[in-house]
A and B are shown apart, each in its own frame.
Chain A
Amino acid sequence: MLHIENVSKLFNPGTVDEKIALIGIQLHLKPGDFVTVIGSNGAGKSTLMNIISGVIKPDTGLVNIEGQSVGHLAEYQRSRWIGRVFQDPMAGTAPHMSIEENLAMAYRRGKNRGFSFGVTTARRNLFKQELSRLGIGLENRLRAKVGMLSGGERQALSLLMATFTRPQILLLDEHTAALDPARADLITSLTKEIVRDMNLTTLMVTHNMEQAIRLGNRLIMMDKGKIILDIDEERKKDLTIERLMSEFEQISGTKMADDRVVLG
């Protein structure tokens, strides 16, 4: 499904500020994989997300989606395969447009945008049906401006917009980190439900160790631009936070340094 071959990325190459963001990354995702990604500050988690989605281009290496090389494609061109939810609840929706208009834009993900109306009666019914899956009453507020919604509601809408067209790959970039605990729990359980129901191939960055262990069928840990630990489904079943931390210390020789880490 997703193949990342030998990807490296340097920031500020050749200057005193040179920083290795990613070095020799190999990652292969099977269809239906739900991989959680953890790692210390500056480990390269966000860079990896940005390389997959095409926001930044790697210095070396290949990115393949469904057997097709996408290295030369811009972010907007890759969107036909990739749905993405950002950390900032404000980032995934257009605040001055209505809920139904936001959904209409997501509905055309990766397709040509022409002169047919974005919101039609048929589509509105579809949007209502999809919104009711969230269970937070948004289906009755189709014409409300998204800017009027709370952070949690906006993030739930972002999640729906990223997934309801069934993208081949779903990227979740710490998408619960900016929410209060109750809202974060809601989004986490919605994520679990949607990914399971639609069988989406998912890559989720998180700072929440407990969440990283509980969700998904595979866990990878990154440090200094490399994947240092790759835990498969079997071993993940009886993984604990303590064991994960001690494995990290053994491999990297340092303590996990993440100022935002949540142990759960």
Chain B
Amino acid sequence: MELFLKIGEGSIQLGLLYALLALGVYITFRILDFPDLTVDGSFTTGSAIAAVMIVHGFSPWLACLGAFAGGLVAGACTGLLHTKGKINGLLSGILMMIALYSINLRILGSPNVSIFGSDMVFDHISPITLMLIIVIAFKLLLDAFLRTDMGLALRATGDNKQMIRSLGANTDTTTIIGVSLSNGLVALSGAFVAQTSTFADATSGIGMIVIGLASVIIGEAIFGAKTVFRATLAVILGSIVYRIVVTAALRIEWFEASDLKLITAVIVIIALVFPAVRSKVKQKGLAKKRSAELLSNIQTAPYSKPTGGEQ
């Protein structure tokens, strides 16, 4: 029992730390329908900016703000490459991710920077409490933003580009805003993670896109995504559930800590394949049942007119 509580607490903390990342991935992957791989780079950018600013004596909150701004810029670059440079979305993200790898090393000055012993946002408050407040605040802000005129245009950009363009929105601008905001959140997530782990590492962003995707897909599959309010909540809870699943899986003796990314990939694959298979099976069953019904109707009343016909 105690063990479960411990797993639970650790998972919730990690889940909340990465929930902002998941919300960021939700914006690009689900709302804009833009598979943005910048995330692997911008997550590190966030932790690098935060770590370096903290080492140089800036307030940790200011460091978080700096990380957020860094993510915004990185995302805007990807958005510009895709919209103005007409580069394929997937490729724009990959190019930016590779570019950021070098930029992150420049920011850090070495492969990793320790901030152990410096002032951090979690100094006087437990990470769970603080992250809960921050994540809920960002969730509500994001919900509100997506209901504004600009937010509606952003959602329509992912839903029906032709239509929102014919209504006068510049879809290049909305795409850039969306990708930018997404990476801002991802970088902010990186800043908080760096402060709980007390260091920033140039390779910490690898696989972040898959973790974000896992949270989005698991969340939507379990908690539903009927409205924006529901969807953002589902994404946050998905981030926590993902951590619980991973922690539980790693407790199986055969697995090693280095298998984490493989487990993540498998979870995402299951979460992607399962709903498709389920709906197909359901559809097939329904079609069979309806056909049988119609068939038995014909057999019991061979000469009756179809219902709804003239009297």
Measuring CB to CB, which residues of chain A are less than 8 angstroms from any residue of chain B?
Answer: 53, 74-77, 79-80, 82, 84, 86, 90-97, 101, 104-106, 108-111, 113-119, 161
Q: How far is the CB of B62 from chain A (nearest CB, A)?
A: 25
Which residue in A109, A116, A119 is a CB contact (below 8 Å) of B167?
A: A109
Q: How far is the CB of A235 from chain B (nearest CB, A)?
A: 33
Q: Which residues of A contact B167 (CB under 8 A)?
A: 79, 105-106, 108-110, 161
Q: Are A94 and B156 in contact (CB under 8 A)?
A: yes
Q: Are B148 and A114 in contact (CB under 8 A)?
A: yes
Top 9 closest pairs, chain A to chain B, by CB: A79-B168, A113-B149, A94-B159, A110-B168, A118-B152, A94-B160, A113-B150, A94-B156, A115-B148
What 9 new A-B contacts, CB under 8 Å, besides A76-B170, A104-B152, A118-B147? A93-B163, A97-B159, A108-B168, A109-B167, A113-B148, A113-B150, A114-B150, A115-B149, A115-B150
- Given contacts A105-B164, A108-B149, whether A97 and B155 have CB atoms under 8 Å apart is yes
Which residue in A86, A93, A113 is a CB contact (below 8 Å) of B153?
A: A113
Q: Which residues of B contact A76 (CB under 8 A)?
A: 165-166, 168-171
- How many residues of chain B are within 8 Å of chain A by beta carbon? 23
Q: Are A77 and B168 in contact (CB under 8 A)?
A: yes
- In the complex, B145 has a CB within 8 A of chain A: yes
The 16 listed contacts between A and B (C-beta, < 8 Å) are: A75-B166, A76-B169, A79-B166, A91-B163, A94-B160, A94-B163, A95-B159, A105-B153, A106-B167, A108-B153, A110-B167, A113-B152, A113-B153, A115-B145, A117-B147, A161-B167
- In the complex, B89 has a CB within 8 A of chain A: no
Q: Which residues of B contact A75 (CB under 8 A)?
A: 165-166
Q: Are A105 and B152 in contact (CB under 8 A)?
A: yes
Q: Are A113 and B160 in contact (CB under 8 A)?
A: no
State the CA gap A53–B151 with chains docked (Å): 25
Q: Which residues of B contact A101 (CB under 8 A)?
A: 152, 155
Q: Which residues of A contact B162 (CB under 8 A)?
A: 86, 91
State the CA gap A77–B148 with chains docked (Å): 20
Q: How far is the CB of A120 from chain B (nearest CB, A)?
A: 10
Q: Which residues of A contact B170 (CB under 8 A)?
A: 74, 76
- Given contacts A75-B166, A114-B148, A115-B148, whether A94 and B153 have CB atoms under 8 Å apart is no
Q: Are B149 and A94 in contact (CB under 8 A)?
A: no
Q: Which residues of A contact B159 (CB under 8 A)?
A: 94-97
Question: Nearest CB to that of A115 among chain B residues?
Answer: B148
Q: How far is the CB of B144 from chain A (nearest CB, A)?
A: 8
State the CA gap A105–B145 with chains docked (Å): 14
